[in-house]
Amino acid sequence: MRISELYQHFKNSSGVTTDSRNIQQGTIFFALKGANFNGNLFAEEALAKGANFAVVDEQQFAENDKILLVENVLETLQQLALFHRKKFFGKVIALTGSNGKTTTKELVAAVLATNFSTRATKGNLNNHIGIPLTLLSISAETEFAIIEMGANHQKEIESYCKYVEPDFGLITNVGMAHLEGFGGFEGVVKGKTELYRYLSSAGGKIFLNSNNEILSAKAAEAGFSSSDIVTYGTKENSFCHAQLTEGEFLSFSLESQKIHTNLVGNYNFENALAACCIGKYFGVEFQKVKTALENYVPANNRSQQIVKDGNAIILDCYNANPSSMKAAIESFAKSEYTTKVVILGGMKEMGESSASVHAEIAALVKEKHFAQVIFVGKEFGSVDFGKKFETTEAAQTWIANQKFNNVHILVKGSRAYQLEKLF
Mean pLDDT, the chain, rounded, equals: 94
- 181-185 contact pairs (CB < 8 A, 24+): 181/152, 181/153, 181/349, 182/152, 182/153, 182/154, 183/154, 184/353
Does 357 lie in the same domain as 252?
no
Structural domain for 327, as ranges: 304-422
Cα–Cα distance between 247 and 217 in angstroms, integer?
32
Does 344 lie in the same domain as 254?
no
Does 248 lie in the same domain as 123?
yes
pLDDT of 197-227, one tens digit each? 999 999 999 999 999 999 999 999 999 999 9
Does 146 lie in the same domain as 37?
no
Whole-prediction pTM: 0.88
Of 295, 323, 339, which residue constitutes the final position of a domain?
A: 295
Confidence band of 294 (pLDDT split at 50, 70, 90): very high
User: 271: number of CA atoms within 13 Å, CB side?
Assistant: 28
Confidence band of 318 (pLDDT split at 50, 70, 90): confident
Are residues 174 and 214 in contact, defined by beta-carbon separation less than 8 angstroms? yes
Q: How far, in Å, are 263, 268, 328, 372 from residue 407 at the CA level? A: 19, 23, 17, 10
Say if 387 falls within a structural domain.
yes
Does 339 lie in the same domain as 272?
no
Confidence band of 124 (pLDDT split at 50, 70, 90): confident
Does 155 lie in the same domain as 46?
no
Does 375 lie in the same domain as 272?
no
Does 117 lie in the same domain as 167?
yes
| Domain count for the chain | 3
Does 408 lie in the same domain as 361?
yes
How far, in whole angstroms, is CA 187 from its chain's centroid? Answer: 19
DSSP H helices, 223-341, are 269-281, 286-295, 322-334
Does 357 lie in the same domain as 333?
yes
Confidence band of 115 (pLDDT split at 50, 70, 90): very high
Range with lowest mean pLDDT among 23-37, 157-171, 175-189: 175-189
pLDDT of 92-107, one tens digit each? 999 999 889 999 999 9
Are residues 422 and 343 in contact, defined by beta-carbon separation less than 8 angstroms? yes
Say if 82 falls within a structural domain.
no
DSSP state of 348: P
- Which helix (H) or strand (E) segment holds residue 298: the answer is none
CATH number, domain containing residue 30: 3.40.1390.10
